[in-house]
Structure 1
Amino acid sequence: MKKSKIGKTLALPGMIQESTDPLAQAGASAALNLANHFLIAMPAMEDPIFGGTVVYVCEHNENGVLGVVINKPTDMTMQVLFDRIDLKLEDSPGAHIDEPIMFGGPVQDDRGFVLHTPGARYSSSLTVTEEVAFTTSIDVLEAVAAGTGPQRMLVSIGYAGWSPGQLEEEISRNGWLTVGADTHILFDLPIEERYVAAMRLLGIDPLMLTSEAGHA
């Protein structure tokens, strides 16, 4: 992937401040384009990082795949995150003050990433669909602090990344199920319900699923 240094990213104090911008990559769409899809870990997956997870795919092109785990909360809340980046978060409607920050994945876990509904323009942002954008710059959280940020959002530390062909190989080995994403699950549903709800988009009861099942 191409490397780029961007100015005001969502880097946490005391950690690496300059790093690869996951949005600074270009390329033609892959033949199998899973952007705006959920990756659902098969129940048999024993990986300590991805077992039991649902990943929202933000970008899929010739450089690989970028996604965010949406159902693995950390111990950090929005309030704690804002304190660490020296922003004042008021306890007002839409502030998400007590919401946990997600563990988005093991890549660049010194930085914050925000999935949100599109609206205002931010300095480093990717519009995935008309309903979902992915932002890596701190101005989106500055907008939240000012009371003008997106009403629906998910903030993560780190993201999940796959090199070209890597995810496709994992899918072919029944590591993941795939299904078109649902914004209600992404933004609104309680965290602990997202895995089962994503499975049910495929008409699957996770308790009945075995490691022999294929992908959708």
Structure 2
Amino acid sequence: MGIRTPGARDVTAVAPGMLLVAQPAMGDPNFSETVVLILDVDEDGALGVVLNRPSPLLVAAVFEEWRDLVGEPEVLFRGGPVGTDGALALALLRDPAEAPEGFRTVLGRLGVLDLETPVEVVEPALARVRIFAGYAGWGPGQLADEVAEGAWYVVPAEPGDVFAEDCDDLVREVLRRQPGELAWHSTRPADPDLN
């Protein structure tokens, strides 16, 4: 599914490994000031995880066996408003040629990791892990409509975005590295009326 903003360049196609950065026009409080990594897109819709919403809950309290593999901050992240009683993990491989059982590539060395896979099987292959409760989901055409309405900027992801330690500034960091006028949006206030 090639979702694009009107008149946009090819880099704005919504695809696995792309980021959605909430624009000021975002009306849904679940996504205000968020950065979402897209994990899957097809004719049935899209699925992703919010990268910049850490919870106060330590991973060790819920997934004790994964505690030594998660990076700072060692908390569970709120991946989105859907399926909050479940969890998924994103992991960074040490070597992209050595993907372990239970790993599905999303972008380069970054991928989704099945938390049912025994830790001892995957640990040698993984550099970092982050665990998310819930996810963000869109039905057929829903995300395309939101992008067309100006709710999201669609930009390329970097694997480090998933593992940012300072999540409060992730929106600005992602926008700052974009080409052209899009980088200017990194300096906008959270409340556009203050501009």
TM-score above 0.5, yes or no = yes
Distance 1:71 1:88 in 2: 20
SS in 2 for 1:193: helix
Any conservation in 2 of the 1:67–1:159 contact (CA below 8 Å)?
Answer: yes
Q: What is the CA deviation profile of residues 89-108 of structure 1, one whole-angstrom value per residue up to 9, with x for unaligned ones? A: 45xxx553751211001111
Distance 1:161 1:184 in 2: 22
Question: Does the alignment pair 1:186 with 2:166?
Answer: no
Distance verdict in 2 for CA 1:88–1:58, change over 3 Å? closer
**Percent identical residues:** 27
Distance 1:78 1:128 in 2: 23
The Cα of 1:31 is off from its aligned counterpart by 2.8
Distance 2:90 2:123 in 1: 17
SS in 2 for 1:128: strand
Q: Structure 2 unaligned segments of length 5 or more: list them.
A: 4-13
Q: Structure 1 unaligned segments of length 5 or more: list them.
A: 1-29, 212-216
The Cα of 1:171 is off from its aligned counterpart by 0.5
Distance 1:57 1:80 in 2: 27
Distance verdict in 2 for CA 1:177–1:70, change over 3 Å? same
- By percentage of residues, which structure has more helix? 2
Distance 2:144 2:62 in 1: 34
Question: Does the alignment pair 1:34 with 2:15?
Answer: yes
Once superposed, what is the RMSD of the aligned Cα atoms? Answer: 2.6
Question: Does the alignment pair 1:133 with 2:111?
Answer: yes
Distance 1:100 1:43 in 2: 27
- By percentage of residues, which structure has more strand? 2
Return the match for 1:111 from 68, 77, 86: 86
Any conservation in 2 of the 1:95–1:147 contact (CA below 8 Å)?
Answer: no
Amino acid of the residue matched to residue 53 of structure 1?
T
Distance verdict in 2 for CA 1:75–1:176, change over 3 Å? same
Amino acid of the residue matched to residue 134 of structure 1?
V
Please name the residue that 1:122 is paired with: 101
Any conservation in 2 of the 1:78–1:96 contact (CA below 8 Å)?
Answer: no
The Cα of 1:186 is off from its aligned counterpart by 2.0
SS in 1 for 2:134: strand
Aligned length: 173
